[in-house]
With several copies, the nearest count.
Chain A
Amino acid sequence: MTERKPKNIFKDGPIPASFIAESIQKHSTQKAIGGHSIFLGQVRADETEKGVVSAIEYTAFEEMALEKMHLIREDIFAKYPLTCMHVHHSLGTVEAGEICLFVFTSSAHRKAAINACEETVERLKAELPVWGKEIIGGESHQWKVNR
């Protein structure tokens, strides 16, 4: 069930746990699903030379990111027998301890859900034009580096 239209994945601010719960709950009507795999990115209070990271401010080239995410989604649906996939990424300020990324895949069997989730996370980190500005002590900043 590949979805053909690019979906918006961006959301202002952090992703609340209640939003994640609602998303899980909605799948209880889909009775062919046997396994869900979820990845959550949480902002770390990393210690840096300049001080402790208090938040990350996310910006994106949104239009390009949504087109790219659409291609990733189509690739993943072509590769794995998924029932559905949901991706949400924060824009703007996300405080340390808050959730900035929510990737959610579901399938009849666990392997497809687990592998699709992991691959989606890897690809979106490498391919989406999104940037994180690490705010340090409210004054200084440095730019996040993905590994």
Chain B
Amino acid sequence: MQVKVLIFGQLTDITGLSELLVTDVSTSNELIESLTGKYPELATAKYVVALDKKVISQETQLPDNSTVALLPPFSGG
């Protein structure tokens, strides 16, 4: 069981990297908990979570080899 995590924008200032692989998590909440354990500043950061390019707003089962993205507020244009 493996999930690819993409980190964008100001969140990369916290993580220091833009992509990581996480194993042994089965839901989005478990993933966020694991990441926040590693990067405590994520706890107060503002972002939404996208699973395979769709924003999710509640705890969701993560398929094997899925991609989760952490998206801070957009600032294009």
The interface bits of chain B over 41-77 (1 if a CB of A lies within 8 angstroms of the residue's CB, else 0) are 0000000001001000000000000000101111111
Question: Are A124 and B71 interface neighbours, CB within 8 A?
Answer: no
Contact residues in A for B71 (Cβ distance below 8 Å): 61, 129
Give the B-binding residues of A (Cβ under 8 A).
41, 58-61, 63-65, 67, 89, 100-101, 110, 121, 124-133, 143-146
Question: Are B53 and A125 interface neighbours, CB within 8 A?
Answer: no
B53 to chain A, nearest CB (A): 4
In-complex Cβ contact of B9 among A89, A127, A128, A143 (8 A): A143
Give the A-binding residues of B (Cβ under 8 A).
6, 8-10, 13, 50, 53, 69, 71-77
Contact residues in A for B8 (Cβ distance below 8 Å): 59, 61, 129, 131
Question: Are A144 and B75 interface neighbours, CB within 8 A?
Answer: yes
Question: Are A126 and B74 interface neighbours, CB within 8 A?
Answer: yes
Bound-state CA distance A128–B71 (Å) is: 10
Question: Are B76 and A89 interface neighbours, CB within 8 A?
Answer: yes
Question: Are B6 and A130 interface neighbours, CB within 8 A?
Answer: no
A61-B69, A64-B69 given; A125·B9 CB < 8 A: no
Question: Are B77 and A121 interface neighbours, CB within 8 A?
Answer: yes
Question: Are B75 and A145 interface neighbours, CB within 8 A?
Answer: yes
Bound-state CA distance A10–B74 (Å) is: 16
Q: Which residue of B lies closest to A131 (CB)?
A: B9
Question: Are B53 and A130 interface neighbours, CB within 8 A?
Answer: no
Bound-state CA distance A61–B76 (Å) is: 11
Bound-state CA distance A95–B42 (Å) is: 30
In-complex Cβ contact of A131 among B50, B53, B75 (8 A): B75
Bound-state CA distance A121–B6 (Å) is: 26
Contact residues in B for A128 (Cβ distance below 8 Å): 74, 76
